[in-house]
A and B are shown apart, each in its own frame.
Chain A
């Protein structure tokens, strides 16, 4: 569909961020080379331009970082909570001050639209540090006993879809409760974590309290298995989560896992259609669908299917895909070539299994990793696209007739992270929300996050909660 309006390019300037040609590992307050001298390159997914060369952590580096964190733990955990709080408040403030720089950086390294890094990621990152800063001197009031103790060294492994936000979700509660941290960012998005190391430096955070080890899965595995790590936190795929659970079995390590999802977005016949369409779009196309709690299964009541799909297709035709730094871009680049090929192969499987594929007319840029927003109709529960997490801008549409059927279909998955309900009937929202086996249920909205609100999954979407008072438990000896 031809757009009624053409937009002039509105690129955010990348001059606000100064990316060095190379970065080291951040251990004990210093940037350092990897012990075996290995490096890897991080590229911008929208252009394939090499952004920087990064030291690649190996087992020896993990050991060095854990030792640094262990040493720092003694003093850090002994600080009065009010002092730890002030460090976290400083970090929160510095992130606010540098949020434009960090937003541009994140967009460059990750490929997500500047609109999202600027308006969603960065404000939430700062908010998480603010929220947990305030807990540091109030832990006795959190409901875990009068004087809950930290666990020690936290080994944290985070994914590439929200690099800085996942860092905040992990580091803020860990530091507030008095733990020290060794964090491994994903190999495709190491930059914002390294810039965060600089934020820690500016905040005057004591050496060794936060250590950042960019690297691959082997570094993550070494961190998880390290005998002197007391707490493991992981966000990523369910397969890796299970592997980690096996690794820590029989140890004293406390474990929390935030894993995959196949969220159902349920639209009833009395739903406000225009608002539901916005929610559906937000649910699956936010961050190119590379969201664990994405609403990747649309369950629509049969009687409004046609109306809703027409409306949805019309809306998808207005989405703008392209330069992530352009302020009018809705859909940016897929994070990596590897992820793009995973999406591509799952979508091909969807077609081969007989689901009907639809995309709006959409020109994809020459360079970089791109995938057009995609809808599948005629999907059954047995189809791969209805069962497997695609982690891309791909929505599978299923139908239902009764609320009971909607609930049964929504729950028919080993995952249990998120769900959406669209209806104007309050009693139906509450009844359906009660029956859904999911950690987060958005009614008449979708993909909302807040540091005060616990987030996490049922079933194979993992265990433990991040955010809110609940998020403290993962880092306390309770």
Chain B
């Protein structure tokens, strides 16, 4: 009997949002119960409000200049550092993914491995995408011009609902690999791996505000993001058909770039779609010779 009284009581974790490099509770003071697929209580997750969403946009905008202005090589280093941190927490994420998605330990471990590899894959893209989708154009005239991809800005990301970790990373990594900053809404019923990802980002070299993670009701948080005038794009991966249409209509107000939800097998190696969806193309022209009155001479 004395054994039982001496059994160690585990320490629960208070899951918090990740906004601007900090871990606030929801300003609304609300939480909601997160359970595993069998209904077992796992934790209380913050239930973010509109105000939390707006605060996250402010943080993401503030971080955009520095992150988009960093060299692609530097961004690649930072992203790779995240993969290192993830690898170190492999067991934690395996537990969390197993709980969140009702997977066996070995299946959850395979998902976590795939997720870490996915992150590494995107880390390697930062300094290659410009060469693949940009380049010089053979202009018919005495001009040099160059088309280069540039990040579109602050991207609202509705993470996939079913794939709480692999799906999450598959939609977040491409957004920031290309220099955007992100406001991410975690899977509504399985938000815990996403909130833990925030802890990983905070302890890697990703500047605060580059990724902001909110948990709560997807529709409630997404609405103010879709209509927000300082959000430049929205990935609707985690929206159902009805919500996606509503959000796309709201997004038209400032002509956000919209990535519509589509069936995706996150286990497969992705293409470049999610990278290019949040890139602009800038074409810069310059005369190459003496153009008399209409341009600069050499």
Contacts and interface: CB of A to CB of B under 8 A. Distances in A.
Interface string B269-298: 001010000001111111100010111110
Q: Which 6 A-B residue pairs are closest in the complex by CB-CB distance? A: A250-B245, A245-B252, A249-B248, A444-B296, A452-B137, A453-B137
Nearest to A458: B280
Contacts of B294: 275, 278-279, 282, 445
A241 interface: yes
B255 A453 contact: no
Given A442-B284, A453-B145, A454-B281, 8 more contacts: A127-B140, A245-B248, A259-B255, A424-B296, A443-B284, A445-B294, A450-B139, A468-B147
B267 interface: no
Q: Is the interface of B mostly helix, strand, loop or mixed?
A: mixed
Contacts of B285: 440-443, 445, 448, 453
A440 B137 CA distance: 13
Interface string A104-147: 00000000000000000000000100000000000000010100
B282 A441 contact: yes
Nearest to B133: A143
A254 to B, nearest CB: 10
Interface stretch (A9-17, A381-389, A459-467): A459-467
A268 to B, nearest CB: 12
Interface residues of A, number: 48
B286 A242 contact: no
Interface centre among B140, B282, B297 (most CB of A within 10 A): B282
Nearest to B233: A463
B254 interface: yes
Contacts of B291: 275, 445
A86 interface: no
B297 A250 contact: no
Interface centre among B138, B257, B281 (most CB of A within 10 A): B281
B29 interface: no
Nearest to B255: A460
A429 interface: yes
Contact count band on B = 35 or more
12 contacts: A246-B252, A249-B249, A249-B251, A275-B295, A275-B297, A278-B294, A440-B282, A440-B284, A444-B295, A445-B287, A453-B139, A455-B283
B73 to A, nearest CB: 16
Contact of A460 (B147, B244, B254, B280): B254
Contacts of B284: 433, 440-443
Contacts of B297: 272, 275
Nearest to B285: A442
Interface in B238-257: 241, 244-245, 248-249, 251-255, 257
A439 interface: yes
A283 to B, nearest CB: 11
A285 to B, nearest CB: 13
B161 to A, nearest CB: 18
Contact of A468 (B132, B137, B152): B137
A453 B271 CA distance: 24
Contacts of B293: 274-275, 278
Given A279-B294, A445-B296, A459-B232, A439 B287 contact: no
B143 interface: yes
A145 B273 CA distance: 11
B132 A143 contact: yes
